[in-house]
Amino acid sequence: MDPCAAQTLSARPAGPSRSTYILLGAPNVGKSVVFHRLTGTYANVSNYPGTTVEVARAPLRFERESTLLDTPGVLAFPSRSFDERAAMRALLDEGARALVQVADAKHLRRSLAITLTLAEAGLPLVLALNMSDEAAARGVRLDLPALAQALGIDVVPTVATLGEGVGRLGEAMRAARIPRARVHYPPAVEAAIAATAQRIAARIVPLPFAARALAILLLARDPEVEQWLADRDADLARELGASRDAEEAGGERYAAAIAHARAEAAGTLAARVELAAPRPVESRAQRLSRLALHRRWGVPILLAVLYATYLVVGVFGAGTLVDLTEERLFGGLVNPAVTAFVEAHAPWRWLADLLVGPYGLWTMGMTYAIALILPIVTTFFLVFGVLEDSGYFARLSVLANRGFAAMGMNGRAVLPMVLGLGCVTMATLTTRILATRRERLIATFLMALAIPCSAQLGVVLGMLAALGFGWTVAWAAVLVAVLVLAGALAARLIPGRRIALVTELPPLRWPVAGNVVKKTTGRLVWYLREVIPLFLLGTFLMWLMDRIGVLPWLIERGEPLVTGWLGLPKEAAAAFVMGFLRRDFGATGLFALGSALSPAQTLVGMVAITLFVPCIASLMMIVKEQGTRVAALIVAMIVPLAFGIGGLVRLALVALGAWT
């Protein structure tokens, strides 16, 4: 679910309708901007491949009864990534009236490879050659009439950011034609396509698009098409799969032959219509882009970015803003007024307690969500949006690749992991950008274990900073060590192979303020809508457990572990129970013990509470993304790990003579 999306596929219409247009294209071609121009609604606009994880839908401006679907970026079909699979699902399920391909005019060859693939579907198609201003500035000249003639469809140059060509694109969409261009595959592949297509057409009616395209995708092992066929005719799916496997065992490699033939055909067509190819330009952005990966400057630039993030989120967000909202606004004004009002009007004592008591929905739940977390996640999402829109994350994934390789993933996992420092719940959802289920599982587990969210980070850093920088470094070192060791272990234990990183590096650019504001707003709306109800649920459970006596019982049960093994005062047991419902509550609970803890005890407590299970909202997201069994397994591993490592840190401190 994309927080910025207008609506997602979950709101899919009951049956196929021929009034849906589908927008498709490679990542970073301005597809979401075209979507906005055509519908007036914002989807996800970003400069990082793979951030639109689902499909947005909105009515068209020029044809209100029709809708436009914005799909995630597609590098090629057959679908391989989560994004490509979502786009393929849209093609299979939506019964599109026409397809609209948005392409980067500067990269004609790559764009045409997708055009030729879409042409196989036999659906009306329009090609929008976007960023045509940038292409012209780089000296690109195209014979557009010849291109339109060769493809048999309308080709419209656009500059979506300025709205140029969008009117013409709308007209072309209404009059969209079925393309005549066709890729010719090697004879053996053509024979297999024809045989497969014939069998599909004979057994399944109606088809979402041309049987030939379905046959090509099946031969190339598109998982979504395989699933689609299995859902309709399991016998046919098995038979076709078996005959393909047998032919491939005989030496035919369909997927590679198909990709190769398409690339060749696209190259030939591009060469025919490209009157002048783009000139290489050494722009300032390009020089900066290269500096960001420079072997001497890459790491200092990364450290500067991290420091700037800390200043905005840690110092300004968690410090200045939280001081304003929590202390002055809520502590000084709002909460006394709400409490007085409820105390005066609540007909029953328990109701007043539920609303404004120590575990009150308002005094604990809402105060926490609005006064403490909201300022922190707002500043975090703002910085995240700036980095995302500038294209820096692609560089970060390259810089971090080696570290992530040790944990069985590739550098792409840096995006959810960094987002996890803001909100682990949202980051768990973002693991969808990772290519395999194995990588998603490792990333989800590591985030649940060792990535503190902004709220927890604020409390933990506040407590450790009061003790001195050395204690903060020790805490961070333990966490990084746990992250790397647990990652290395997970990489060995979870079956499957690691996927090497191949990534495009879009040019760095100044972030567009509008994009950043819209993405931040979208994420905040998502946070308010999805996460706050879960906080309230957590608070309610705390209240209920306190009321029926479970809370004191749990605290009593946990005491031996907390006092004996971790060496903390018995009151700290309550903090861990609270931490089970909301991760940072635990840290706050230890914070409340304040001077009762020695510096060494604080370190042990902070390590254990950071590693301890994530908040209830994250846990529910893990259930949603990975299933109940995996979520239960993750919790079953994290609880002993958190206490085990906390205790080991205590033993290490005892051995070093630092335990007092």
487 touches 408 (CB < 8 A): yes
In the bound complex, what is the minimum distance in angstroms from residue 297's beta carbon to another protein? 12
Q: Which stretch binds another protein (CB under 8 A): 106-114, 143-151, 443-451, 545-553?
A: 106-114
Assess 583 for contact with another protein (CB under 8 A).
no
Indicate the length of the chain as a whole number: 660
Beta bridge partners of 152: none
Say if residues 325 and 370 touch (Cβ distance below 8 Å): yes
Using an 8 Å Cβ cutoff, are 511 and 383 in contact? Answer: no
Given candidates 59, 122, 223, 298, which one binds another protein under the rule CB under 8 A?
298
Q: How far is the CB of 241 from another protein (least distance, A)?
A: 16
* Residue with Cβ nearer another protein (432 or 518): 432
- Identify which range of 70-78, 89-97, 174-182, 236-244 contacts another protein by CB under 8 A: 70-78
Residue 297 φ/ψ, nearest 5 degrees: -95, -20
Task: Select from 201, 236, 255, 352 the one that contacts another protein (CB under 8 A).
Answer: 255
Query: Which alpha helices (DSSP H) does 274-325 contain, by range?
Result: 284-291, 298-309, 322
Residue 487: both structure tokens together: 């990652």
Tell me if residue 474 falls in helix, strand or coil: helix
Closer CB to another protein, 223 or 569, in the complex: 223
Q: Which two tokens stand for residue 87?
A: 């786009």
From the list 295, 345, 492, 629, which residue makes contact with another protein (rule: CB under 8 A)? 295
> Is residue 119 a contact partner of residue 101, using CB atoms and an 8 Å limit?
no
**Tokens standing for 93?**
């399920």
Looking at the Cβ atoms of 294 and 349, the one nearer to another protein is 294
Given 280, 347, 640, 657, the residue binding another protein (CB under 8 A):
280
Closest approach, Cβ 398 to another protein, in A, equals 5
The nearest distance, CB 401 to another protein, in angstroms, is 6
Check residue 328 and report its DSSP letter.
I
CA–CA gap between residue 646 and residue 660 (Å, rounded): 16
Query: Should residue 78 be labelled a site residue for another protein when binding is judged by CB under 8 A?
Result: yes
The burial class, CB within 10 Å (0-12 / 13-18 / 19+), for 269 is buried
For another protein, the closer of residues 255 and 561 by Cβ is 255
Q: Is residue 260 within 8 Å of residue 88, measured between CB atoms? A: no
Residue 401 lies near another protein (rule: CB under 8 A): yes
Strands (E), 18-66: 20-24, 56-59
Q: Does 278 bind another protein (CB under 8 A)?
A: yes
Of 194-202, 314-322, 500-508, 569-577, which segment contacts another protein by CB under 8 A? 500-508
Residue 47 near another protein by CB under 8 A: no
Q: Is 31 among the residues that bind another protein (CB under 8 A)? A: no
# of chain residues touching another protein (CB under 8 A): 40
Minimum CB–partner distance for residue 289 and another protein (Å): 7
Letters for 256-275 (x = contact with another protein by CB under 8 A, - = none) are x--xx-xxx--x--------
Distance CA(269)–CA(263), nearest Å, equals: 10
Supply the minimum distance, in Å, between the C-beta of residue 600 and another protein.
38
Residue tagged 């025919």 (tokens):
272
- Interface of this chain with another protein, residues 592 to 631, rule: CB under 8 A: none
Asked if 11 touches another protein (CB under 8 A), the answer is no
Residue 399 found at the interface with another protein (CB under 8 A): yes
- Looking at residue 386, what DSSP letter applies? H
Run of H or E including 274: strand 274-276
Q: Which is nearer to another protein, 245 or 504 (CB)?
A: 504
User: What's the sign of the alpha-carbon dihedral 449, 454, 458, 464?
Assistant: positive
Cα gap 252→249, rounded to integer Å: 7
Least separation, in Å, of the C-beta of 632 and another protein? 32
Complex with another protein: residue 80 or 432, whichever CB lies closer? 80
106 scored as a contact of another protein (CB under 8 A): yes
Nearer to another protein, 14 or 502 (CB): 502
Q: Kindly report the backbone phi and psi dihedral angles of residue 335, in degrees, each rounded to the nearest multiple of 5, phi listed first.
A: -65, -45
Q: How many angstroms separate the CA atoms of 351 and 214, rounded? A: 60
Contact positions with another protein (CB under 8 A) in 173-212: none
Query: Which H/E stretch holds residue 102?
Result: strand 98-104
Considering only residues 408-437, where is the footprint of another protein by CB under 8 A?
Answer: 410
Q: How many CA atoms does the CB half-sphere of 235 hold within 13 Å?
A: 3
- Return the residues of window 130-169 that contact another protein according to CB under 8 A: 138
Q: Does 519 bind another protein (CB under 8 A)?
A: no
User: Considering only residues 59, 152, 331, 507, which one is a binding residue for another protein as defined by CB under 8 A?
Assistant: 507
Closest CA to 480 of 298, 644, 610, 285: 610
> Which CB sits closer to another protein, 285 or 639?
285
Q: Which of 14, 249, 493, 500 binds another protein (CB under 8 A)?
A: 500
User: Binding to another protein by residue 46, rule CB under 8 A?
Assistant: no
- Residue 110 burial (10 A CB sphere; 0-12, 13-18, 19+): buried
Q: What is the smallest separation between the CB atom of 410 and another protein, expressed in angstroms?
A: 7
Work out the angle at residue 209's Cα, subtended by the Cα atoms of residues 203 and 211, and round it to the nearest 5 degrees. Answer: 45
CA torsion angle 627 629 630 634 (round to 10): 130
DSSP codes joined into one string, 422-440: T-HHHHHHHGGGSSSHHHH
Q: Which of residues 379-398 bind another protein (CB under 8 A)?
A: 394, 398
Contacts with another protein by CB under 8 A lie at: 75-76, 78, 80, 106-107, 109-110, 113, 138, 253, 255-256, 259-260, 262-264, 267, 278, 280, 289-290, 293-295, 298, 394, 398-399, 401-402, 410, 500-505, 507
